[in-house]
C-alpha cells in the first residue's frame, strides 16, 4: 500500500481567546485503510474531522498544520480550489443524513449533480454505487425524495453520494449513530468494502468502541483536542497503555454479561480552555506532579501503540478492576402494575404498523423494547405517551384506564408519564436556553418560584453530568450528547413515575452513556419505572429486567432479559443477537 493521507500538526484555535480546540494532530493513512477516531463528546473529534476538509466552525480557525491527500495539501489551497477538492479529493458523511440530503430534490438529482461526467455515464456510476450500498438502483427508487426513505436508507444514500465523485479520503462522522444493529452491521461492512474496492482511505469518527473495533484497521484516541493514544486496532482496544483509553473501555457495556458500568470520574475539559501538563491528569488515577506540570510527548509505548503518558509502563502492569455485577430486580406476582397495555393496534395513514401488543410494567421495573428500524418501537412508545392518534386498545396507569390522546389525559397523568425523544437536535426549543427548557415544566406542574426553579434546574443538570455553567446556553451551542442529557434532565424535573426512553443513549459516548445508565439504574432503585426503547442489546443487558422484541409491529418474543439474550428462541431475535458487536475481550482488558 502507498500512503494516501498525511496529516501533520493540525491545530484549530478559538478566535476570541487564542486557546486550541484541536492541538498538533498528526497521523498517516494508507489507501484502503480505515482509521477510527474515538473519544468523549467535546473531545474534538468532529472539529478534527471538519478540519481535514479545510473547514472550521464559526468562531474558530485552522491555525497550523497540513492535510496532504495524494500529494496535495488541502490547507494550502485558495478557497475556490479547496471547494473543488471537496468531493473529488475528500468527502464528508455527517451524523445526521438529513443534513446531507436536500428534501426537495430527487435522489437521482442529488447523486449526479456533483459529477463532472456525461449524463449516461453519471447515471451508470450512480446505479453501481446504489447496488454497492445494498439499495435499489431502478428508476422508481431514483425518483424518490429523502423523506420516503428510512434512516438507514438515507445514511446509505449519503455515503453513496460522498463516494460518487471518487474521493481519496472519506471522512465519516458518527454515521451509524441511531441505526439498529442489523442496519449498522450492513453499513459498516459496506464502508470497509467501498474503501477496498475504490482504493480510498477513511476516517471513521465514533463514540462506539464496538463499532470502531469492527470497522477500523487503526484507532486514534482523542481527549481534550489531543491524540493521547494511537495504533493498530487490536493493540489499542485490548492492550491500551493510556489511562484514558482504559477508562473508556471500562465504561463499555457487554451484550453477553450483566454488569455495572464505570463512568470516568470528573468532566472532560471545556472547549479551548487553558491547559498545562497532561490534559487528562485531573481525572487520572496514575497522575503525579510531573503529569500536571509538563505536557507529555506522543511516543512508542510498551504495548505497541503511540501513547501520550509518561507512566505507560505502570498503566499496562496495573491489575484490572473486576466488573461489578448489576443486581437483578425480583418481582412479586402480587405486585401491581404501574402501566399496562392490552391489545394495542396502531397505524399510519390507514396502514397498520402495530398488531395486538400487550405487556405490563411493574413499579421500579425496566422493560426494554428492541427491534430493527421500522419494527414499530417508536410508534408504540408514542402511543403510550399519547402522541399517536391512530391507535386502538386499552392503556392503564396506576390501575386506572387512561385516554389514548395526551390532551384528554389529566395533568397528573401527563406529569407521571414522561417521554425522552430519540433526536436531541429536535426535542429542545432552539430559542430557549438550557435553563429555560427546564423551567417551563417546573412552573407548569409545580408552580415554583424563580429562585426555587433555578435551584432545581442546577440539581437536575448535575444529575445528568451537565455543568451548571452551561445553563445559559442554547441547544445549538451544545454537543449532541449534551443535548440528550438536557432532554433527560427536563423529563426528570417533572418527577415522573414512568419514563419512556426512546433511544436515549444512542448519541452518547461510552463514558456519558455509563453515567446515564447508572443514573437511570439509581432511579429504578428509587421506584421509577421505565420503558427503554433501544437497538443496543449491550445496554439492554446492563439495565433491563425484561425484554419485548418487536418485528413488523408484532411481539415475536418476550421474557427475562438474560434468558432472551442468552438463549433466544425466535429466529428474528437470534439474528439481532448475532449482529450485535462487542469490543474484543473488553472485560478482560479494561481496568
Nearest to 388 by CA among 427, 360, 438, 354: 354
The DSSP bridge partners found for residue 13 are 20, 61
Give me the CATH topology for the region 337-432+494-589.
Answer: Rossmann fold (3.40.50)
The predicted-structure confidence for 572-582, as pLDDT tens digits, reads as follows 999 999 999 88
- The pTM assigned to this predicted structure is 0.85
Separation CA 214–CA 205 (nearest Å):
13
Whether 509 and 516 have beta carbons less than 8 Å apart is answered as no
- How does the average pLDDT of the chain come out, rounded? 89
How high is the pLDDT of residue 587? 37
Range 105-108, long-range pairs (CB < 8 A, 24+ positions): 105/145, 106/142, 106/143, 106/144, 106/145, 107/141, 107/142, 107/143, 107/144, 107/145, 107/146, 107/157, 108/142, 108/143
Q: Residue 289 region, left (φ>0) first, then alpha (ψ -120 to 50), else beta?
A: alpha
Task: Supply the DSSP symbol for 399.
Answer: T
How high is the pLDDT of residue 588? 43
Query: Domain 3-89+167-250+263-317 sits in which CATH superfamily?
Result: P-loop containing nucleotide triphosphate hydrolases (3.40.50.300)
Separation CA 460–CA 446 (nearest Å):
15
Concatenate the DSSP letters of all residues of 179-245 into one string: --HHHHHHHHHHHHHHHHHTT-EEEEE-S-HHHHHHH-SEEEEEETTEEEEEEEHHHHHHS--SHHH
Mean pLDDT of 351-380: 93
Check pLDDT > 80 for residue 257.
yes
What lies within 8 Å, CB to CB, of 141 at 6+ separation is: 107, 130, 135
Q: How confident is the model at residue 443 (pLDDT cuts 50, 70, 90)?
A: very high
Check pLDDT > 50 for residue 591.
no
Check pLDDT > 60 for residue 589.
no
How high is the pLDDT of residue 450? 86
**Domain range annotation of the chain:** 3-89+167-250+263-317, 100-165, 337-432+494-589
CA torsion, ordered 483, 486, 490, 496, to nearest 10 deg? 100
Whether 55 and 48 have beta carbons less than 8 Å apart is answered as no
What lies within 8 Å, CB to CB, of 544 at 6+ separation is: 366, 367, 368, 532, 561
The predicted-structure confidence for 489-536, as pLDDT tens digits, reads as follows 999 999 999 999 988 887 778 888 888 888 889 889 889 999 999 988
Amino acid at each position: 500500500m502507498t500512503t494516501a493521507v498525511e496529516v501533520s500538526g493540525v491545530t484549530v484555535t478559538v478566535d476570541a481567546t487564542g486557546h486550541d480546540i484541536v492541538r498538533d494532530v498528526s497521523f498517516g493513512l494508507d489507501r484502503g485503510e480505515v482509521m477510527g477516531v474515538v473519544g468523549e463528546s467535546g473531545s474534538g473529534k468532529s472539529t478534527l474531522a471538519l478540519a481535514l476538509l479545510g473547514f472550521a466552525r464559526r468562531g474558530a480557525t485552522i491555525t497550523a498544520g497540513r492535510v496532504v491527500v495524494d500529494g496535495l495539501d488541502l490547507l494550502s489551497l485558495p478557497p475556490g480550489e479547496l471547494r473543488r477538492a471537496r468531493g473529488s479529493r475528500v468527502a464528508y458523511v455527517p451524523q445526521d443524513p438529513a443534513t446531507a440530503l436536500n428534501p426537495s430534490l430527487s435522489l437521482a438529482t442529488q447523486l449526479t449533480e456533483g459529477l463532472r461526467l456525461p449524463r449516461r455515464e453519471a447515471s451508470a456510476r450512480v446505479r453501481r454505487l446504489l447496488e454497492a450500498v445494498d439499495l435499489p438502483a431502478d428508476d422508481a427508487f431514483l425518483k424518490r425524495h429523502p423523506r420516503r426513505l428510512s434512516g438507514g436508507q438515507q445514511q446509505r444514500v449519503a455515503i453513496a453520494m460522498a463516494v460518487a465523485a471518487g474521493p481519496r479520503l472519506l471522512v465519516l462522522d458518527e454515521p451509524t449513530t441511531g441505526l439498529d444493529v442489523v442496519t449498522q452491521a450492513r453499513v459498516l461492512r459496506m464502508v470497509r468494502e467501498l474503501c477496498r474496492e475504490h482504493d480510498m482511505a477513511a476516517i471513521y469518527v465514533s463514540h462506539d468502541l464496538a463499532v470502531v473495533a469492527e470497522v477500523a484497521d487503526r484507532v486514534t484516541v482523542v481527549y481534550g483536542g489531543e491524540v493521547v493514544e494511537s495504533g493498530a486496532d487490536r493493540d489499542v482496544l485490548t492492550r491500551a497503555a493510556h489511562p484514558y483509553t482504559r477508562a473508556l473501555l471500562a465504561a463499555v457495556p457487554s451484550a453477553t454479561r450483566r454488569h455495572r458500568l464505570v463512568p470516568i470520574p470528573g468532566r472532560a475539559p471545556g472547549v479551548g480552555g487553558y491547559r498545562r501538563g497532561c490534559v487528562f491528569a485531573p481525572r487520572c488515577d496514575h497522575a503525579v506532579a510531573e503529569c500536571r506540570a509538563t505536557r507529555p510527548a506522543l511516543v512508542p509505548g510498551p504495548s505497541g501503540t503511540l501513547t501520550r503518558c509518561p507512566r505507560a509502563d505502570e498503566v499496562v502492569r496495573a491489575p484490572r478492576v473486576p466488573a461489578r455485577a448489576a443486581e437483578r430486580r425480583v418481582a412479586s406476582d402480587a405486585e401491581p402494575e404501574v402501566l399496562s397495555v392490552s391489545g394495542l393496534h396502531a397505524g399510519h395513514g390507514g396502514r397498520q404498523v402495530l398488531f395486538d401488543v400487550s405487556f405490563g410494567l411493574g413499579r421500579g421495573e425496566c422493560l426494554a423494547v428492541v427491534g430493527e428500524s421500522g419494527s414499530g418501537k417508536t410508534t408504540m412508545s408514542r402511543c403510550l405517551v399519547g402522541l399517536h392518534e391512530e391507535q386502538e386498545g386499552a392503556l392503564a396507569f396506576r390501575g386506572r384506564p387512561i385516554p389514548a390522546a395526551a390532551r384528554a389525559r389529566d395533568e397528573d397523568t401527563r406529569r407521571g408519564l414522561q417521554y425522552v425523544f430519540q433526536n436531541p437536535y429536535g426535542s429542545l426549543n432552539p430559542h430557549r436556553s438550557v435553563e429555560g427548557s427546564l423551567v417551563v415544566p417546573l412552573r407548569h406542574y409545580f408552580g415554583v418560584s424563580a429562585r426555587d426553579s433555578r435551584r432545581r434546574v442546577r440539581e437536575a443538570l448535575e444529575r445528568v453530568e451537565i455543568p451548571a455553567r452551561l445553563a445559559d446556553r442554547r441547544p445549538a451551542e451544545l454537543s449532541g450528547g449534551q443535548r440528550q442529557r438536557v432532554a433527560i434532565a427536563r423529563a426528570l424535573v417533572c418527577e415522573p413515575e414512568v419514563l419512556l426512553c426512546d433511544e436515549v443513549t444512542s448519541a452518547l459516548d461510552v463514558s456519558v452513556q455509563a453515567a446515564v445508565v447508572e443514573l437511570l439504574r439509581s432511579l429504578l432503585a428509587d421506584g421509577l419505572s421505565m420503558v427503554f426503547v433501544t437497538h443496543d442489546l449491550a445496554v439492554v443487558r446492563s439495565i433491563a429486567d425484561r425484554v419485548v422484541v418487536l418485528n413488523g409491529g408484532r411481539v415475536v418474543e418476550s421474557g427475562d432479559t438474560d434468558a432472551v439474550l442468552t438463549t433466544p428462541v425466535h429466529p428474528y431475535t437470534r439474528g439481532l443477537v448475532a449482529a450485535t458487536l462487542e469490543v474484543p475481550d473488553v472485560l478482560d482488558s479494561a481496568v
